[in-house]
Amino acid sequence: MTVSPPLTTDVVIIGAGPVGLFAIFQCGMLGLRAHVVDTLDTPGGQCAALYPEKPIYDIPSRPEVLAGDLIAGLEAQARPFDPVFHLGQTVETLEGTADEGFTVTTSAGTVICASAVMIAAGGGSFGPNRPPLDGLSAYEGHAVVYSVQRKEDFRDRRVVIAGGGDSAVDWAVALADVAASVAVVHRRPKFRAAPDMVARMTTLAESGRIDLVTPYQLAGLDGDGGALSGVLVRHTDGSSRRLEADILLPLFGLRMDLGPLASWGLGIDKGHVAVNPATLETARPGVFAIGDITHYPGKLKLILCGFAEAAMAAHQVFALARPGEALHFEHSTSKPPAVPRPCNSAMAS
């Protein structure tokens, strides 16, 4: 990993879910610049990764809004403040103090220095849902992979795909013409995927190009700890089977994991960071936690509460980033965001 020269800003926001996105706006309204880091490749947190097509009914003044549209609106609202996004990167370390400033370092080697840190990490960073198999980590990256970067990497390999959703079905069909063999392990005969793709997979199974291994679940890995030779699977009736394999592709969706956050001295209890509800400050002065990650008496895990927490924390951050400066507050009606939003540009000109 190459470490880039440090970037400097007022506040680093960890997590680009709905709450992190709104924090950009709230900080921006106070004249504070933000850098935002998220493990995912696109902003939106749970709303974008888990339920973009679902309507939300409890956002004030939006009787019904699709989660994906809510995120698009939050991005548009943040845009005038020129936030710098560092996506596809996980914040791994958080160093420093409120007096000397903070430094965060990401998995991609990005180093950002800031006066304050806002943690809007939700239930943790999103990553693949990893099967709890003995010795798994020794195979991960080369023999156990969670996504297909290049189809060519699978040419003439014996591939076992595990899972029953769209990605399992899509990749089974796509890899059937390059791989030496493709087996699909799923706990039941029914696949929850686009019907036309399921039909194509079934046709390939009938012609012997795909081996449908149902109703089975993953049970173990067979190999020398480096190279994989087989995948062990277990039938619902308890009996076992071994599938010849060079590569296992477990496709069980995303899971949230606190990961590095747990070691930042924040006092994590049951996956949440305790804060002072008046300031949203954590046990570590200068580090604030907002949104789903936060806990205080009476906390509700609702987007609207996260929005309010973002506003309150922004005012605290101002004091750290602009020491000695008085916070002259004006409502957004008297001080609209300086740069017109793209959707308003026609009206403004």
Q: Applying CB under 8 A, which part among 137-145, 151-159, 163-171, 194-202 lies near another protein? A: 163-171
| CB 49, min distance to ligand FAD, A | 7
From 3, 4, 6, 51, residue interacting with another protein (rule: CB under 8 A):
51
- Is residue 273 within 8 A of residue 265, CB to CB? The reply is no
When asked if residue 186 is in the footprint of another protein (CB under 8 A), the reply is yes
When asked if residue 214 is in the footprint of another protein (CB under 8 A), the reply is no
Give me the residues that bind ligand FAD (CB under 6 A), please.
14-20, 37-40, 45-47, 50-51, 56, 58, 90-91, 120-126, 259-261, 291-292, 301-304, 306
Q: Which residue number is nearest to ligand FAD in terms of Cβ?
A: 122
The listed partner (ligand FAD, another protein, none) that binds 341, CB under 5 to 8 Å by sort, is none
DSSP 51-73: -TTSEE--BTTBSSEEHHHHHHH
When asked if residue 259 is in the footprint of another protein (CB under 8 A), the reply is no
Smallest Cα–Cα separation from 307: which of 329, 295, 290, 332? 290
DSSP 187-239: SSS--BS-HHHHHHHHHHHHTTSEEEETTEEEEEEEESSSSEEEEEEEETTS-
Both tokens of 126, joined, read 């999103």
Total residues contacting another protein by CB under 8 A comes to 23
User: Within 10 Å of residue 131's Cβ, how many Cβ atoms?
Assistant: 17
| CB 181, min distance to another protein, A | 23
The listed partner (another protein, ligand FAD, none) that binds 164, CB under 5 to 8 Å by sort, is another protein
When asked if residue 131 is in the footprint of another protein (CB under 8 A), the reply is yes
Residues 158-178 as b or e (16 or more Cβ within 10 Å = b)? bbbbbbbebbbbbbbbbbbee
When asked if residue 104 is in the footprint of another protein (CB under 8 A), the reply is no
When asked if residue 235 is in the footprint of another protein (CB under 8 A), the reply is no
- Is residue 19 within 8 A of residue 306, CB to CB? The reply is yes
